[in-house]
Amino acid sequence: MALELRPNCECCDQDLPPAAPGAHICSFECTFCLACSTRLAFVCPNCGGELVRRPIRPAAKLSRHPPAAVRVRRDQPCFPGGAP
Ligand SMILES: [Zn+2]
Ligand SMILES: [Zn+2]
């Protein structure tokens, strides 16, 4: 199984294409943009795990191993009481 490259940030829904340099993930592949990861202090709000930079899959591999199509959003706000 290849890493699941999710297409968006779970917090702010920003697009995170496979080549997005700022995408961050936890060990469960919860996916966040750099701005949200920074605000989260690089701790996943879903599982409490570490958020690390998502490696960029080589473009030549994307046809056989395409990114995930399903957008995932958290049902709870990531930053309670705070503006995005
Ligand atoms: Zn975000
Ligand atoms: Zn997580």
Q: What is the pLDDT of residues 6-48, one digit of tens each?
A: 999 999 999 999 999 999 999 999 999 999 999 999 999 999 9
Domain range for 45? 1-30+41-57
CA of 26 relative to ligand 1 center, distance in Å: 14
Q: How far is the CA of 63 from the centre of ligand 2 (A)?
A: 27
- Burial grade of 11 (CB within 10 A; 0-12, 13-18, 19 or more): buried
In a domain, 76, yes or no: no
Please report which confidence band the pLDDT of residue 80 belongs to, taking 50, 70 and 90 as the band edges.
confident
| Domain annotation covers residue 48 | yes
Q: What is the DSSP letter of 37?
A: H
Tell me how many domains the chain contains: 1
Residue 71 lies in a domain: no
For residue 46, the CA-to-ligand 1 centroid distance in Å is: 14
CA of 53 to the centre of ligand 2 (A): 13
Q: How far is the CA of 15 from the centre of ligand 1 (A)?
A: 9
Q: Would residue 23 count as lying in a domain?
A: yes
* CA 29 to ligand 2 center in whole angstroms: 6
Does residue 26 fall inside a structural domain?
yes
Is the predicted pLDDT of residue 84 greater than 60, yes or no? no
Looking at the domain assignment, is residue 66 inside a domain? no
Which ligand approaches the C-alpha of residue 11 most closely?
1
